[in-house]
Structure 1
């Protein structure tokens, strides 16, 4: 689906590890969560609130809200706007958001 462009110094590249559901994802420092998940071939980030249809990033700039995920237990995070951090836990957002 998406593939990271190789560089001359690919072997020297630093890695950030995060978890998506039960899968370890390797990302580059500075990647957004959305870019890291797409590079790892994750096809679905959330389920639509009404229909339950699978959704994934669309605009990659924070306008469409299709990339909503739960990050470290906090729901409604836009994956395209959050930079990866070592050890972060990311989960799919399922259904309608909880308004409290």
Structure 2
């Protein structure tokens, strides 16, 4: 079964059970957060480093590698100084 999520207004399709990071990577997104002057994306893939955090459905700090993508999720990039 396929799902659809939205990243900053862009609709992306994924598979049921896939992580948010998996959906983003499958669509060519390698980075999705800015922190300390640099781009960040998935690094460790196991929820330890926090480089992959996003805002999901209004909740900040969600780890994309740990959160299963759900149909209708609205995702926003996080920009931190």
Query: Which category describes the TM-score, using the shorter chain as reference length?
Result: over 0.9
Q: 1:18 aligned to 2:18? A: no
The aligned residue for residue 59 of structure 1 is 44
How far apart are the structure 2 equivalents of 1:37 and 1:90? Answer: 11
Give the whole-Å Cα distance in 1 for the aligned partners of 2:69 and 2:30: 18
Quote the residue 2:29 is aligned against: 42
Count of residue pairs brought into register by the alignment: 81
Alignment match, 2:55: 70
Counterpart-to-counterpart distance in 2, 1:30 and 1:56: 20
Aligned mates of 2:38, 2:80 — CA distance in 1: 9
TM-score by length of 1: 0.77
Structure 2 CA distance for aligned equivalents of residues 68 and 45 of structure 1? 8
Structure 1 unmatched ranges of 5 or more: 1-13
3-state DSSP class of the match of 2:55?
Answer: strand
Counterparts of 2:18 and 2:32, CA distance in 1 = 16
Higher strand share goes to which structure? 2
Equivalent position SS for 1:41:
coil
Cα RMSD (Å): 0.9
Tell me, in whole angstroms, the C-alpha distance in 2 between the residues paired with 1:33 and 1:20: 10
User: Which structure's relative contact order is higher, taking Cα pairs within 8 Å and 6+ residues apart?
Assistant: 2
